[in-house]
Amino acid sequence: MNDQADQADQAATAAAGAARTGGPGDGTRAVRAGLPEPVKNEPPLPGPVFAAHFHLPGDVTGPYTYGRDTNPTWTLLERAIGELEAPGQGGVDTIVFASGMAAVSAVLLSQARTGDTVVLPNDGYQALPLVREQLEAYGIHVRTAATGDDGQLAVLSGARLLWIETPSNPGLDVCDVRRLVEAAHAGGTLVAVDNTLATPLGQRPLELGADFSVASGTKGLTGHGDLLLGYVVCRDPQLAADVRRWRKIVGAIPGPMEAWLAHRSLATIQLRAQRQWANALAVAEALADRTDVTGLRYPGLPADPSHKTAARQMRGFGSVVSFTLPDREHAERFMAALHLVEDATSFGGVRSTAERRGRWGGDPVPEGFIRLSAGAEDTGDLVADVLRALDTAGAGA
């Protein structure tokens, strides 16, 4: 009960903080993000522009020339994402990609050269080890360290780029972005933050000093599980030009339909995030009382090892909860007993999803480890479903 009161207090403080900074609130910004000035008899959000090329008489001048370089549907989406990642600041550059991994690779491969050193987390997204292999094949040195306790601080010296993932997926450790940025910048190291889990509503890496905010738009940003997307936001025009050039030469561009669907989905990000974060907290609180659950992690739980740092730098704690059941079979019975939670990978969608993460074999997690992403269901329904499935799994040994 006290915990809930604390949470309500923190939410109120965060809301007051947002109000104090002036400017519109998250919901107000989200519903209008990236929309063009109203034009009589035109729709508020223009439809997707399907074009491989654009009429281009005479000299090659912008803005729209060839469909791998530019597209008006991307322009509006990029503006919208920039307004959410760095509100009221202007001057940021956003580049959208075909997927989160396209965006991740664009930053790493456009910045690191043979002989450079890159620092990655050792507990990050499951495709990062593949990226590491590729970097090493190009003669780039890779060091890794844990996200928790700011472990990457110890391996920064002389690095070209520090890659941060906070909260980390799937372990939900959090590091102090400002502290890492300060140390990195003092040594001339660039900093990129993977902001996928938090979404720009939950965390604004550029305000915390990062050079790049990078994310998969496939997850909570768009929230309907119907498209893949990635983006990079940065302030430095040269860094932005490097990333844009990488997109051009690799061609990892989103289709106009995906870009338009993403923009349409952004209008509801504040509504979705509010419900999903509240649901995640409610599920985490219910799991905290269970003797069959160990290793419970949710940065929004006051008792969580990440909570203090998360409360300082995050504006919301995300939709993902992770925990461990006694063994693989127990976890499989739990998954099979859920009615409202889909057994699927990915996270951040309006329908709750969960999976026994060990089935992929890529993450260093126990066999009974579950990653659960709270959707936008009614809180009571979701919590009841999870508790009932736990009881069924426990009874069916």
Ligand X SMILES: *Cc1c(COP(=O)(O)O)cnc(C)c1O
Residues 138-167 that bind ligand X (CB under 6 A): 165
Q: Does position 101 bind ligand X by CB under 6 A?
A: yes
Q: Does position 258 bind ligand X by CB under 6 A?
A: no
Which span (18-26, 82-90, 100-108, 302-310) binds ligand X, by CB under 6 A? 100-108
Whichever of 168 and 279 has its CB closer to ligand X, that residue is 168
Q: Does position 105 bind ligand X by CB under 6 A?
A: no
The residue from 110, 111, 169, 265 that contacts ligand X (CB under 6 A) is 169
Do the Cβ atoms of 382 and 279 come closer than 8 Å? yes
* Beta-strand pair 230-234/212-216: antiparallel
Whichever of 134 and 379 has its CB closer to ligand X, that residue is 134
Report residue 375 as tokens: 């959707």
Measured CA to CA, the distance from residue 222 to residue 175 in angstroms comes to 25
Q: Does position 194 bind ligand X by CB under 6 A?
A: yes
Measured CA to CA, the distance from residue 281 to residue 300 in angstroms comes to 6
Q: Which of 323, 274, 305 is nearest to 176 (CA)?
A: 305
Shortest Cβ distance from residue 238 to ligand X (Å)? Answer: 24
**Size of site (CB under 6 A) for ligand X:** 15
Whichever of 106 and 383 has its CB closer to ligand X, that residue is 106
Whichever of 323 and 347 has its CB closer to ligand X, that residue is 347
> With b meaning 16 or more CB within 10 Å and e meaning fewer, what string describes 116-140?
bbbbbbbbbbeebbebbeebeeeeb
- Identify whether 167 is preceded by a cis peptide bond (ω within 30 of 0): yes
Q: Does position 77 bind ligand X by CB under 6 A?
A: no
- Give every CB contact of residue 47 below 8 A, 6+ residues apart in sequence: 260
Q: Which of 17, 38, 165 is nearest to 87 (CA)?
A: 17
Which span (43-51, 83-91, 190-198, 261-269) binds ligand X, by CB under 6 A? 190-198
Whichever of 96 and 390 has its CB closer to ligand X, that residue is 96
Q: Does position 313 bind ligand X by CB under 6 A?
A: no
Q: Does position 104 bind ligand X by CB under 6 A?
A: yes
Which span (134-142, 144-152, 192-200, 295-303) binds ligand X, by CB under 6 A? 192-200
The H-or-E segment that residue 295 falls in is strand 294-297
Q: Tell me which residue has its CB nearest to ligand X.
A: 100
For 345, the 3-state DSSP assignment is: coil
* Beta-strand pair 353-356/369-373: antiparallel
Shortest Cβ distance from residue 197 to ligand X (Å)? Answer: 6
Whichever of 110 and 216 has its CB closer to ligand X, that residue is 216
Sheet holding 117-121, edge to edge: 93-97, 230-234, 212-216, 190-194, 161-165, 117-121, 141-145
Binding mask 207-246 for ligand X (x = CB under 6 A): ---------x-xx--------x-x----------------
Q: Which residues bind ligand X (CB under 6 A)?
A: 99-101, 104, 125, 165, 169, 194, 196-197, 216, 218-219, 228, 230
